């Protein structure tokens, strides 16, 4: 672990009459991967330190990235930026956030810090020795952990640090016969010790077997009441979050550009919270992207737009206090699940494709999906591949009708499956 000499850095830059910010990131990772093509396990252990120096002078900003960290490298970078900063774009609202504080926080779990490759190998043995259906095989397995520490120092004498760690795993299974094949993936992440169980593998295997056993059918082009799997809902919410930056809205590059705070946008069932300190999420972050101490923010309250993501510059432009919410940390969709959720709808959509084609300005989409018909026991009985769901995000999330009970806190989203009324399928 590197030693950050806060006072030494301050002394180094005292002679310069400019504002500056230093961000230092240190990470340690271990990864193991299994490649069945060669029937081999590969191992990687790495350490990385990176430093970013931001210089602000006469409302102009320049940024310099440094590989590693040392006082000498910092001083050289400072000299480089001083020579070029006068050519940067000038904006009267470019300033160092006027917040002076010192905070140190440790979100890490010490139990996982010293886990070695032998533990990963033990988990792989569970995956390898599982009693698979004769048609199902392992396509890929990987497991690892990462520990990261971030440091922040600026010309206002603020100093902050944060330590965090996470374990993660990925299992990919496939089935292939002649010209027909199916594959599916399960990704896991946790701030606890992560153990691969037979239940994890069975759940993943069952998704493939469901596709193989379900009757292949077609679906007429019309509007349906549908269910979107939890992972699909997260994909849509990711796009909603990408459109919530104040600068994008101001420059008419967001689907929310025409909206104001407290405009009704989505269903009353949609209350979305960005909370940096939700317990055991893997997106926990004490600071926002400018290292202003992050705060819990209600992004949508029921159906209304309640907040935007502001960096310090755009907060000044709109004459508001910087709220410490210029980054996505942990996302919580605060809704209550509906009793007998699956009973209200027969059509389940999973495995989205081509989300990058969604139009950010309008929210319009036409995406290929996999679709299942559910029977009265909520079993997958019929299956259609490469069917398209079309519409726009505004309409979609205004049409939430029922809420699933499959809330999970893996990764940094706590989001369930949702059902939506009147969506166009072609």
Nearest Cα neighbor of 158 from 291, 313, 339, 309 is: 291
The secondary structure of residue 87, as a DSSP letter, is: G
Per-residue pLDDT at 128: 94
Structural domains for the chain:
6-213 (3.30.2290.10), 215-425 (no CATH)
Dist. CA 62–CA 326, nearest whole Å? 19
pLDDT at position 425 is 85
pTM: 0.85
**Residue 110 in contact with residue 164, Cβ under 8 Å?**
no
Q: Report the alpha-carbon distance of residue 252 to residue 38 in Å, rounded.
A: 51
Q: How would you write 149-196 as a 3-class SS string?
A: EEEEEECCCCEEEEEEEEEEEEEEEEEEECCEEEEEEEEEEECCCCCC
pLDDT at 281: 77
Q: How far apart are CA 78 and CA 217, in angstroms?
A: 64
DSSP state for residue 410 in the 8-state scheme: S
pLDDT of residue 10: 83
Q: How far is Cα 305 from Cα 4, in angstroms, rounded to an integer?
A: 41
**324 contacts 293 by C-beta, under 8 angstroms:** yes
Taking alpha carbons only, the member of 186, 158, 171 closest to residue 128 is: 171
Residue corresponding to tokens 């081509």: 354
List of the chain residues with pLDDT < 70: 1, 178-180, 279-280, 289, 342-344, 409-410
pLDDT, residue 354, reads 78
Closest by CA position to 371, among listed 177, 232, 186? 232
Residue found by looking up tokens 């009324």 in the block:
421
Q: What is the pLDDT, as a whole number, of residue 345?
A: 76
pLDDT at 179: 65
Rounded CA separation 227/372 (Å): 10
The CB-side HSE value for 317 (13 A sphere, CA atoms) comes to 14
pLDDT for res 12: 82
Q: Give the tens place of pLDDT for each residue, 7-60.
A: 888 888 887 788 999 999 999 999 999 998 888 999 999 999 999 999 999 999
């Amino acid at each position: 672990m590197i030693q950050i000499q806060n006072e030494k850095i301050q002394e180094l830059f005292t002679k310069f009459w400019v504002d500056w910010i230093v961000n230092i990131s240190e990470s340690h990772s271990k990864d193991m991967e299994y490649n069945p093509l060669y029937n081999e396990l590969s191992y990687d252990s790495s350490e990385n330190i990176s430093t970013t120096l931001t210089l602000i002078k006469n409302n102009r900003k320049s940024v310099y990235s440094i590989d590693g960290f040392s006082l000498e490298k910092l001083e050289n970078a400072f000299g480089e930026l001083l020579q070029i900063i006068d050519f940067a774009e000038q904006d009267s609202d470019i300033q160092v956030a006027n917040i002076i504080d010192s905070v140190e926080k440790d979100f890490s779990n010490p139990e996982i810090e010293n886990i070695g490759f032998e533990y990963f190998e033990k988990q792989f043995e569970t995956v390898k020795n599982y009693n698979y259906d004769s048609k199902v095989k392992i396509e890929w397995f990987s497991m690892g952990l990462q520990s990261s520490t971030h440091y922040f120092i600026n010309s206002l004498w603020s100093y902050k640090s944060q330590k965090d760690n996470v374990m993660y795993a990925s299992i990919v299974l496939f089935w292939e016969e002649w010209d027909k094949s199916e594959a599916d993936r399960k990704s896991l992440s946790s701030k606890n010790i992560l153990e691969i169980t037979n239940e994890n593998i069975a759940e993943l295997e069952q998704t493939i077997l469901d596709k193989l056993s379900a009757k292949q059918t077609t679906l007429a082009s019309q509007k349906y009441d549908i269910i979107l799997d939890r992972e699909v809902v997260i994909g849509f919410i990711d796009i909603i979050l990408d459109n919530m930056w104040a600068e994008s809205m101001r420059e008419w590059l967001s689907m929310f550009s025409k909206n104001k705070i407290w405009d009704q946008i989505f269903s009353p069932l949609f209350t979305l919270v960005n909370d940096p300190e939700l317990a055991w999420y893997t997106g926990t972050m004490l600071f926002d992207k400018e290292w202003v101490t992050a705060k819990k923010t209600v992004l949508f309250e029921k159906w209304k737009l309640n907040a935007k993501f502001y960096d310090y510059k755009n907060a000044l432009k709109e004459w508001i206090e910087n709220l410490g919410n210029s980054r996505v940390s942990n996302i919580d969709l605060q809704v209550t699940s509906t009793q007998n959720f699956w009973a209200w709808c027969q059509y389940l959509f999973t495995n989205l494709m081509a989300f990058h084609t969604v139009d950010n300005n309008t929210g319009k989409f036409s995406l290929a999906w996999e679709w299942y018909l559910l029977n009265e026991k909520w079993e997958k009985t019929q299956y259609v591949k490469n069917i398209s769901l079309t519409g726009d995000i505004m309409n979609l999330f205004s049409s939430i009708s029922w809420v699933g009970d499959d809330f999970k806190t893996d990764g940094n989203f706590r989001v369930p499956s949702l059902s939506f009324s009147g969506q166009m399928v072609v």
